[in-house]
Amino acid sequence: MIHVIQLFAGGDEMKDAYYNLKTRVSGTITTVHVGRGSSINEAHHALESRIFRDWAASVDPRFEVREVEIQQVDYRGKPSPDKVMFIRLAVTGEGLPFRTFMELRGEVVVLLPVVHTEEGEFTILVKQPRLASGHYAFAELPAGMCDGDDPEEALLREAKEELGIELSRETVVDLSARVWTEGTNGPPIFSTPGFLDERFHVYSAEVRMTYSELVQLDGKRTGNTTEGESITLEVIRLSELCHRVRDAQSIVAYMLYLEYKR
């Protein structure tokens, strides 16, 4: 339960007001400030969202998080707790040497499709605009946010949306689990732990099709248009993957696959 405990107003205009709330981060009672780039409703949505609750539960108690400022909340669709996509925070704590700025994004899934044909092994990349990289057609393995779903469910959804391929749970391998724990629900990998909580689960899927069927996918346009996706598929030989991609997720997925097959 979240309680509004105080309202402070500074200056002559309401835009200079900020709010205080209370929540818990790994058992520590934490004051939550609502920054000027956010609103009281957005703060409530952020604190009730899956990505904030998962992060708060995962924090090592030695950080002793005392204050969290919610600076910005971004949504996927109509504003509500289950549509929160990103949360930008400024955090202070007894176990932190200085005020820390970070962004919460939650869990991501990455798929390495391994396609077996009579001409050898191939994989399928997705090319799409990635403004932060400066590249209009950035090539990478299929990936997507979990949006509160079970990672395998999210993976099957992304495979259908981005590749147009129907996979089942029986056809995918959790490479994180196989390589590190030899079990299920392996540890996710953190992409940028100095700033992001984003953690990705890595899977592979073995698919069989004829070479003629496979080449029909090369250049195909896919993606969830309701979310603004504009994706073009590219078929390459599996052995060329590390020479074709420049994102860490794809390279890690390939390295884990090689370790799994070793």
Asked if 191 contacts 145 with a C-beta cutoff of 8 angstroms, the reply is: no
Indicate whether 7 pLDDT > 50: no
pLDDT at 178: 81
Asked if 93 contacts 102 with a C-beta cutoff of 8 angstroms, the reply is: no
Asked if 101 contacts 83 with a C-beta cutoff of 8 angstroms, the reply is: no
Provide the angle, in degrees to the nearest 10, between the axes of the packed helices 40-48 and 50-58: 60
> What confidence tens digit (pLDDT) does each residue in 192-229 have?
999 999 999 999 999 999 999 999 999 999 977 676 67
Of 58 and 10, the structure prediction assigns the larger pLDDT to: 58
Domains delineated in the chain: 3-104 (no CATH), 107-261 (3.90.79.10)
DSSP string computed for 117-143? ETTEEEEEEEEEEEGGGTEEEEEE--E
